[in-house]
Amino acid sequence: MTAPTSATTDGRILKGNETRRQVLARAMRIASAEGLAALSIGRLATELELSKSGVFALFGSKEELQLATVRAAERVYLDHVITPAQRRPAGLERLWALLEGWWEYSRTRVFPGGCFFYAVGAEFDAQPGRVRDRLVEGSRAWHELIVAQLEAARDKGRLTAEVDVEQLGFELLALLEYANAMSLLHDDEAPYARSRRAALRLLRAEATDATELPAE
């Protein structure tokens, strides 16, 4: 009797995991375009033709659904932007790989609303709570990762010793977010090219050998 019971349990777990993946995939698409507030267990159940009680059992509340959606989007971001760049040496090479990965992630609309975190960050920046706290953690980690590459480049002598890495990191990230916003608003890819050129100019101004950076 043990084997059939175990098989049944395993089947239910697999089905539950697959349902969770389906729900979160749809939730990420909705949230990137309409915001996390647009998510509801009832809406997701209806759109995916699932039982509302089944979806509720997976998350338990709207806040837990929102948090799970943010965590799922973090994994997508990791796969598309961060993990590929980690194969490059720390410093300018990894920094540029992170920037290129981000432009590609936003430009190709991995999420239909462009950068998931730009969209939901603006939605929750003035709303204290667990969702905002999670978004703050992610934003801080992304900023620190960019600054760490600038520090590594400075320590290797690839950037000038006087470079203000915090300021330069802030300016580079601002270029990314503005490109995302303008591309979405105008339905135009040109802002990404402009953002790339501007980032190169910022880095060349601080580089000890500008020829080591990519051509425009």
> E strand or H helix at 37, and its extent?
none
Residue 53 lies in a domain: yes
Residue 131 lies in a domain: yes
Give the global pTM: 0.91
pLDDT of res. 216: 73
Q: How many CB atoms lie within 10 A of CB 175?
A: 21
User: Does residue 4 register a pLDDT over 60?
Assistant: no
pLDDT, mean over the chain: 94
Q: What is the rounded distance in angstroms from the CA atom of residue 31 to the CA atom of residue 43?
A: 12
Q: Residue 81 class from Cβ within 10 Å (0-12 exposed, 13-18 middle, 19+ buried)?
A: buried
Residue with tokens 């135009």: 188
The CATH number given to whatever domain includes residue 145 is 1.10.357.10
Residue 90 lies in a domain: yes
| The pair of three-digit structure tokens given for residue 46, joined into one six-digit string | 């209806």
Return all residues near 99 (Cβ < 8 A) that are at least 6 apart: 172, 176, 196, 199
Residue 216 lies in a domain: no
Range of the domain at 207: 2-211
User: Does residue 207 register a pLDDT over 80?
Assistant: yes
Q: What is the rounded distance in angstroms from the CA atom of residue 70 to the CA atom of residue 215?
A: 35
| The pair of three-digit structure tokens given for residue 107, joined into one six-digit string | 């430009």
pLDDT of res. 9: 63
Q: What is the rounded distance in angstroms from the CA atom of residue 70 to the CA atom of residue 112?
A: 15
pLDDT in tens, 19-75: 999 999 999 999 999 999 999 999 999 999 999 999 999 999 999 999 999 999 999
User: Does residue 5 register a pLDDT over 80?
Assistant: no
Contact between 24 and 32 (Cβ < 8 Å): no
Residue 27 lies in a domain: yes
- The residues that bridge with 207 in the sheet, in sequence order, are 159
Q: What is the rounded distance in angstroms from the CA atom of residue 70 to the CA atom of residue 37?
A: 12
Domain count, the chain: 1
Residue 70 lies in a domain: yes
pLDDT in tens, 108-143: 999 999 999 999 999 999 999 999 999 999 999 999
**Residue 17: pLDDT band by 50, 70, 90 thresholds?**
confident
